[in-house]
Structure 1
Amino acid sequence: MEKMKIIIPGILPGKNEQINADRRNHFVGNRLKQKTQEEISWPIRIQSRGKTFGDHHVIIRVKFYEPWNGHHRRDDDNIMHGCKYILDALVNLGIIRDDGPKFVKLLPERETDLGTHGIRIEITIEESGMVWKDGRLTAREA
Structure 2
Amino acid sequence: MLSKFVFPLPPTLNEIIGTARSNVYASAKEKRAWTNRIAVECFGRKQFPDRVWVEFIWKIKNFRRDPDNISAAAKFVMDGLVEGGIIQDDSLKFIMSPVLHWYEKGEDLVQINIADHPIWNGRIIALENPRFQETKQQVIAVAPEVLLPVKSSEIAEKEEVSITPIVGERIPEMQTVTAVVEVLEEEISYWGELLELADLINREYERSLTTPAAAMLHARNAGEWLLRAQSLLPESEWLAWLNANCQVSEQSAKTYMAIAKSWLSVQKSSVHSPI
Name the TM tier (shorter chain): 0.7 to 0.9
Change (3 A) 1:119 1:22: closer
Aligned equivalents of 2:108, 2:41: Cα separation in 1: 15
In 2, Cα distance between the equivalents of 1:124 and 1:28?
30
TM-score (normalised: structure 1): 0.74
Is residue 53–residue 97 contact of structure 1 (8 Å, CA) maintained in 2? yes
| Alignment counterpart, residue 27 of structure 2, candidates 14, 26, 29 | 29
Q: 1:100 aligns with which of 79, 91, 95?
A: 91
The residue that corresponds to 2:47 in the other structure is 52
Select the residue among 59, 77, 83 that pairs with 1:86.
Answer: 77
- Say whether the 8 Å CA contact 2:38–2:84 is kept in structure 1: no
Aligned to 1:96, what secondary structure does the other structure show? Answer: coil
Which residue of 38, 43, 47 corresponds with 2:36?
38
Aligned residues: 125
5+ residue gaps, structure 2: 119-126, 128-215, 221-262, 268-275
What letter matches 1:52 in structure 2? Q
- Matching residue's letter, 2:101: E
Tell me the distance in 2 between the aligned counterparts of 1:33 and 1:12: 9
User: What do residues 48-103 of structure 1 show as CA deviations (whole Å, max 9, x unaligned)?
Assistant: x342111x11001111010335xxx4211111011100110111111111101110
TM-score by length of 2: 0.41
Q: What CA RMSD, in Å, does the superposition of the two structures yield over aligned residues? A: 2.6
% identical aligned pairs? 25
2:85 and 2:100 map into 1 onto residues whose CA distance is 21
Distance 1:29 1:98 in 2: 23
Q: Secondary structure at the match of 1:13?
A: coil
Equivalence for 1:7: 6
Q: Which is helix-richer, 1 or 2?
A: 2
Q: How far apart, in 2, do the equivalents of 1:31 and 1:108 lie?
A: 28
Opposite residue 102 of structure 1, the aligned amino acid is K
Q: How much does 1:139 deviate?
A: 5.0
Displacement of 1:31 in angstroms is 0.8
2:111 aligned residue (105, 122, 132): 122
Tell me by how many angstroms 1:6 deviates. 0.7
Question: What secondary structure does 2:99 align onto?
Answer: strand
Using a 3 Å threshold, how does the CA distance of structure 1 residues 139 and 3 change in structure 2: closer, same or farther? farther
The answer to whether the 8 A contact 2:52-2:95 is kept is yes
